[in-house]
Amino acid sequence: MALGHGDYGDVLALQRTLHAKRCAGELGDLLLSVEHNPVFTLGRSGMHDHILVAEDTLKQQGIQIHEIERGGDITYHGPGQLVVYPIFDLRGFGKDIHRFIWSLEEAIIQTLSELGIGSARNDGFPGVWVGARKIASIGVYVKNWVTYHGLALNVDVNQAHFRMIRPCGLSIETVSLNDIRDLHMSVAEVGAIVVRQLGALLEKDIVTMDRKEVI
């Protein structure tokens, strides 16, 4: 389900609603794709010290902060970034969380390969990297064997916003797809490839649905 541009708080509330419905067996597995307004999210191990600018600067830039239940530290979501949230029941996937996270990473790696960009995992650090630069983040929450939160792939992100934080609590450089290859691709175009790859890896047929069909 493609949501277009969305406020983080609104989409988080939608995820929680759909997660509850999936746990109750009221709907099937879903993929939500969205491009967020600027926001920093702190996972369960997130630290406010990893925000490197003053609160006034965040207000001037229109950047919100949300503390959430996914794993990991701090990351940024904003325009030019593809975010995909699988609402996915792992009981039909061998209850294998590691395989699920591997699949999220693999969908990104295969998408980038299709676009002529080599990328790889970095042992011990979830996500996808192009050389020493991080191009995609993974952050998942699992309750009652149903997932939400998910992956974020930088397509054409404002890197100045990333420099306002210590991404994932690390001193690293981030990069966008269009920094590496000037493909002039939109977030929606890249998203279509990621969703196709992810559907194959999760062994699911992808069907486009309207929000009204599942709420």
Q: In the structure encoding, which two tokens stand for residue 37, read together? A: 């307004």
Nearest 5°: CA angle at 193, between 21 and 210?
Answer: 35
Asked if 168 is an active-site residue, the reply is yes
The C-alpha atoms of residue 51 and residue 26 are separated, in whole angstroms, by: 39
Catalytic residue among 90, 168, 194, 195: 168
Nearest to 152 by CA among 65, 33, 7, 15: 33
Task: Spell out the residues 6+ positions from residue 140 whose beta carbon is closer than 8 angstroms to its own.
Answer: 70, 71, 97, 100, 101, 104, 147, 148, 149, 150
The C-alpha atoms of residue 39 and residue 188 are separated, in whole angstroms, by: 19
Nearest to 136 by CA among 103, 184, 174: 174
Catalytically active residues are 168
